[in-house]
Amino acid sequence: MFNKIELPYNYEALEPYIDKETINIHYNKHLQTYVNNLNKLLEGHEDFAKGKTLGKILSDTESIPEDIRQGVINQGGGVFNHNLYFSILSPTPKKAPEGKLLDEINATFGNLENLKQNISNAAIAQFGSGYAFLVKDENGKLSVISILNQNSPLSNNLIPILCIDVWEHAYYLKYKNLRADYVKNIWNVIDWGKVEGLYMNYSI
Ligand SMILES: [Fe+2]
């Protein structure tokens, strides 16, 4: 049985940038549905799922039984991506990274502002539903990617350490069609302390 993370803040805690109702529906309805669907899919496949983390499953999609493979990619990705998304948001975020992550950002993107712009552009330009991700490869090298639907960077051997959900359900109640405003504002609640932790100590 897989589950959603415990939300580390109240539904209204991210206001005015992300509103209470959006967090409530996003977390309790959308994410919960992915959780329920994933667990239902895995019924009867206990031997396959036993002892595996969701990250492990998504990083080796070929090993997923064929009859449930696409379903697990969709629903499992939905659980994993949302758990990441909700976990890196905070009402009291660390505003900038330090240490090795900052060094790597500076080396790859020039500076933090350039990286944020890069991620924002990927999020705004994503056609349809998906995410913008900051990922690291096995050598710690960073890149920005956009991903369609609920696919996981893990399936391409990339470890996600930050994501912006740009499915309409993530912003429509408050921002309507103005995705760019949502993307601009979400930086106020992205906790670089969490991202640093994932960069330094991520294990799938
Ligand atoms: Fe979402």
> Any idea what DSSP says for residue 148?
E
Q: For residue 77, how far is its CA from the centre of ligand 1 (angstroms)?
A: 11
- Note the pLDDT tens digit of each residue in 106-130: 999 999 999 999 999 999 999 999 9
pLDDT at 134 > cutoff 90: yes
Q: For residue 131, how far is its CA from the centre of ligand 1 (angstroms)?
A: 9
pLDDT at 80 > cutoff 90: yes
Domains of the chain, earliest start first: 19-204 (3.55.40.20)
Q: What average pLDDT score do residues 146-171 get?
A: 97
Type and span of the H or E element at 131: strand 130-136
- Say what percent of the chain tops pLDDT 90: 98
pLDDT at 60 > cutoff 90: yes
Q: For residue 28, how far is its CA from the centre of ligand 1 (angstroms)?
A: 11
Q: What average pLDDT score do residues 5-9 get?
A: 97
Q: What average pLDDT score do residues 174-191 get?
A: 98
Torsion, Cα 171 105 147 33, to 10 degrees, reads -50
Q: What average pLDDT score do residues 13-41 get?
A: 98
pLDDT of residue 202: 75
Residues 86, 30, 196: CA angle, nearest 5 degrees: 15
pLDDT of residue 73: 98
Q: What average pLDDT score do residues 13-39 get?
A: 98
- Note the pLDDT tens digit of each residue in 84-114: 999 999 999 999 999 999 999 999 999 999 9
Backbone φ and ψ of 167, nearest 5°: -65, 145
Average pLDDT taken over every residue of the chain:
97
Q: For residue 44, how far is its CA from the centre of ligand 1 (angstroms)?
A: 27
169 annotated ligand binder: yes
| pLDDT band, residue 135 (cuts 50/70/90) | very high
Q: What average pLDDT score do residues 139-146 get?
A: 97
Q: For residue 82, how far is its CA from the centre of ligand 1 (angstroms)?
A: 6
Q: What average pLDDT score do residues 54-79 get?
A: 97
In angstroms, rounded to a whole number, what is the distance separating the alpha carbons of residues 91 and 86? 11
45 annotated ligand binder: no
82 annotated ligand binder: yes
Q: For residue 126, how far is its CA from the centre of ligand 1 (angstroms)?
A: 14
Residues 193, 190, 101: CA angle, nearest 5 degrees: 40
